[in-house]
Amino acid sequence: MMKLMNLPLLYAAALIAVSVAGPAMAQDKTPEAKNSAYCTNIADAAADARYALQKEELAKIEKEIEGRLKILEAKRAEYEDWLRRRNEVLQKADETIVSIYSRMRPDAAAIQLTNMDEEIAAAVIAKLNPRSASAVLNEMEPARAAQLANIITDAPKRVASNGGKE
């Protein structure tokens, strides 16, 4: 059927086909193996891409935090300025109120201080000179005078026990 002359040509063609197709057939793997090899091959690139996205996101968050810190610092400076002005006004008012009560008759001052908030009244009495304070307390009913005296004597203890904060 076949001629002998064609046999070496067929044999050579078969050898060439096996040598070319052999490695391709040897690499033929299951789909899971192909997926695993693909994932292994792109793992570094995926990690690099993920790192770049995370770095970009962190940069955005950092800019946002810096903006918020600037706003917070501005608010803090505004609050400190407001607090400084408020304390100046209160200090002037305290001096004014103390000078007013020090010039009042003790009986009139006692009536007004009796009707005031106890901590404010105690603060005013504590800032009066001792002679005026004793005269005002002498004019008050004993229970109210004792209550204010307790607040005045307790104030340093409360400040010391709270670490300087009331």
| 49-90: pLDDT as tens digits | 889 999 999 999 999 999 999 999 999 999 999 888 877 766
What's the pLDDT score for residue 111? 94
| 116-132: pLDDT as tens digits | 888 888 888 988 999 99
Given a cut of 50, whether residue 30 has pLDDT beyond it is yes
What's the pLDDT score for residue 88? 79
Contact 125, 137 (CB under 8 A): yes
Residue type, 25: M
d(CA 156, CA 151): 9
**Domain segments of the chain as ranges:** 46-96, 104-158
What's the pLDDT score for residue 66? 96
d(CA 92, CA 7): 122
What's the pLDDT score for residue 11? 53
Percent residues over pLDDT 70 in the chain: 69
Mean pLDDT for the stretch of residues 93-99: 81
What's the pLDDT score for residue 105? 95
d(CA 102, CA 106): 8
